[in-house]
Structure 1
Amino acid sequence: MRIRNRTTNYKPLFFAFSVFAMLWVTLLLYAGAYTTSIQAGMAFLDWPLSNSSVNPDGWLTNEDMRAEHSHRLLGAKLGMLAIAMVIWTQLREARVGVRRLAITILVVIVLQGLLGGMRVLFDQLNTGWDHNIVARTFAVFHACGAQITVCMLVAMAAINSRAWIERQAGLKAPVSQNIRRWGYASVAVLFVQIILGAVMRHSGAGLAIPTFPLTPDGSIFPAFWNFPITINWLHRAGAVAATIVLVIFVGKILGSSITRKPLGWLGWTVCALLVIQIFLGAATIWTHKNPVMASNHMVVGAFLLGSTWLLTLLTLRIPVSVSVVQKGADSVGKKQQDSSFGQPAKT
């Protein structure tokens, strides 16, 4: 279907809407993290309604009910924002990829709602089972899906920004493939770390090793192992791996003349978020899983993943001048000539 009003131009209102949706998911993330931190996920045994109502009695005065119902309401409103995003892009956006991304965001948010609902309906309080593995599995997938949603909303805001569309939109800076590979590696390592964190949180293993940075006996490795201790230790080891990969990635961003000026600020932002995240992880243990501290740790982790994903995404198209692009291209060409010096020409 061809619609005349579709354009590829920068749309300031839609960009602002995309940023608003990205900020809204932050509220949703915190509400979900706080609900998990105070173990209020089963404040209501039914779903999609709460005690058979969209406005259950007492939900504003009971902390557990307030946390869980707020999470549900914020999720429903994010779904409405996603529907509006799909309609908006279908009517006004000529770029097929943007329209498809909007649809994908809506589908993922719907799936997120279903995963959250399954987590409630398959809880042992409803099933009567002697284990809660199924509900916890849905909870882990729900937590990981939230991070994917964040990254997609970040991408939607980025590709609809003025910088992406108008500033040298036809130019692609010759960013090293090595830089991009480290970016992809950083996103992958962070996502694995988030999976480990989700499994740890929903398994109640956050304090399986109750001291930080060393174990209670002053060692790097625990004196004995079981599942809670193993997943807790792997989450800590993952933090070390993520730190190393992120430092290398940001170092390469700052070390390249092509990426230093346009992306350096975001690289330093990633570093700052990394430091804050490490502190919050340690403080969560030092405060014996204070709900606010634990929730902030989860939300800042999402910020860190989203910022790293944005930094990687922007290496695909960065706002640079023609002279910088030409300089980079000349540099790449010179290296290719040097590496092929003395070799016979291909015929």
Structure 2
Amino acid sequence: MTRENVNPRKMQLPVTKYANRTVHRLAILVVCLTWPLIWVGGMVTTYDAGMAVPDWPNTYGYNLFLYPYKTWLLGPFDLFMEHGHRLLGALLGFTAIGLVIAAWRSENRRWVKGITLLILLAVIIQGGLGGIRVVLGDRTFAMIHGSTAPIVFALTVIGMVVTSRWWFRYSKPQSEPDSTEPNTTPHEDAPAIKLPKLAKGSVATVTLLILTCYLQLILGARLRHLQPTGSATGFLHTATLHVMLAFALWLLVVIAWSRLRKCGDLTLSRPGQALIGLVGVQILLGIGTWVVHYGWPDFLGWFPGSEGYVIESKNYVNALLVTSHVATGSLILAVSTFVWVRILRVRNLNMASAASKTAS
């Protein structure tokens, strides 16, 4: 088979002894547990069920894991959501501990070990913030708890990317597996993969995209956790900025995708293309969330301020719509982080390649 006839989709990626399958699978599991946890946490806030269990870390005096399952499953829905949120958070914590242990036993890169520790620390802090919110009954801590969850999600995505086979796809192939790494995927001779050339400003554009996305999440958290002392004018300004940034975010995503498409690497451009769709869906969910909360405003408008708005109680379908808006925002940040880490990897490899050619 000549180089020209190689099918990139069937091409085996070069793998080094650092691409440990156990570590990567645990990293994927951590990511897969974090987003459902954000979903359930969003449902807790949507139903205002954060104080359904008044004590912490126990549940009505019981150890978290010994609380009667029939009372949990057959009890009030807000109790089911809040206690389930705690159990899922504990499962994420145990999985993060397993990731740290696996990384420190088999991962040769110290900075990757540090990332796994950072993920575990972030999960612990996030759980502590949720506990403080319950103990103090403070809506401010509820807002902080909701604002830091996407950061934890983004960190788990970083851990998944840096432990993946893709991370080493441009590395020199090894024909023999490392006997000291039983969980390392061996590599058969594969053709070299040419480094893609990033368009100018790709890293800066995606970095700005991430910052804008997180600012959107903070504004959304402020709107969800309204303070009793908050003013109508403050709400108006926050809601207006939130709407304006939504369309700015969509524009940034389109610009980022247009830059990534020029590099010719589908592993970079396809996530950018997915972001366009996610942000579009998020805008529609935002409109639906507004309607669910306040009904249709005058002029079918985006801005609060007209007379007669009433916050309506939400049924299950409405609650899912509102929570979907929250969870999709975190997903957009996570996918943006996924793209950002990958283009940083490609940029650094390009810089190292250029430096090597200059030195030779």
Instruction: Report the TM-score when normalising by structure 1.
Output: 0.77
Quote the offset at 1:17 in angstroms. Answer: 1.8
Mapped pair 1:101 → 2:103: no
Aligned to 1:203: 226
SS at match of 2:201: helix
Q: Distance in 1 between matches of 2:290 and 2:96?
A: 36
Mapped pair 1:175 → 2:184: no
Q: Is the 8 A contact 1:33 1:295 kept in 2?
A: yes
Q: Distance in 2 between matches of 1:8 and 1:145?
A: 34
Which of 143, 158, 164 is the equivalent residue of 1:140? Answer: 143
Q: Distance in 1 between matches of 2:232 and 2:292?
A: 23
Aligned length: 288
Quote the offset at 1:265 in angstroms. Answer: 1.1
Query: Could you list the runs of 4 or more consecutive aligned residues of structure 1 that deviate by over 4 angstroms after TM superposition?
Result: 170-174
The 5-angstrom pairing of residues 124-139 of structure 1 reads 135-139=138-142
Quote the offset at 1:21 in angstroms. Answer: 1.3
Instruction: Report the TM-score when normalising by structure 2.
Output: 0.74
Structure 1: runs of 5 or more not aligned: 1-6, 124-134, 209-223, 334-347
Q: Distance in 1 between matches of 2:48 and 2:245?
A: 25
Mapped pair 1:77 → 2:91: yes
Structure 2: runs of 5 or more not aligned: 1-15, 173-193, 294-313
Which of 300, 305, 312 is the equivalent residue of 2:333? Answer: 305
The 5-angstrom pairing of residues 162-241 of structure 1 reads 162-165=165-168, 167-169=169-171, 173-176=196-199, 178-203=201-226, 225-241=232-248
Aligned to 1:154: 157
Q: Is the 8 A contact 2:253 2:272 kept in 1?
A: no
RMSD of equivalent CA atoms? 2.7
Q: Percent identity?
A: 29
Quote the offset at 1:140 in angstroms. Answer: 1.8
Aligned to 2:185: none
Q: Distance in 2 between matches of 1:137 and 1:172?
A: 47
Aligned to 1:63: 77
1:149 is aligned with what amino acid? V
Mapped pair 1:87 → 2:101: yes
Quote the offset at 1:15 in angstroms. Answer: 1.5
1:152 is aligned with what amino acid? L
Classify 1:37/1:27 alpha carbon distance in 2 versus 1 (closer, same or farther; 3 Å). same
Aligned to 1:48: 57
Mapped pair 1:115 → 2:129: yes
1:58 is aligned with what amino acid? T
1:239 is aligned with what amino acid? A
For residues 56-93 of structure 1, the C-alpha deviation after alignment (integer angstroms, 9 at most, x for no partner) is 57322210000000111111111111111111111110
1:263 is aligned with what amino acid? L
Classify 1:76/1:262 alpha carbon distance in 2 versus 1 (closer, same or farther; 3 Å). closer
Mapped pair 1:248 → 2:251: no
SS at match of 2:73: coil
Which of 282, 286, 290 is the equivalent residue of 2:287? Answer: 282
SS at match of 1:60: helix
Quote the offset at 1:229 in angstroms. Answer: 2.6
2:221 is aligned with what amino acid? A
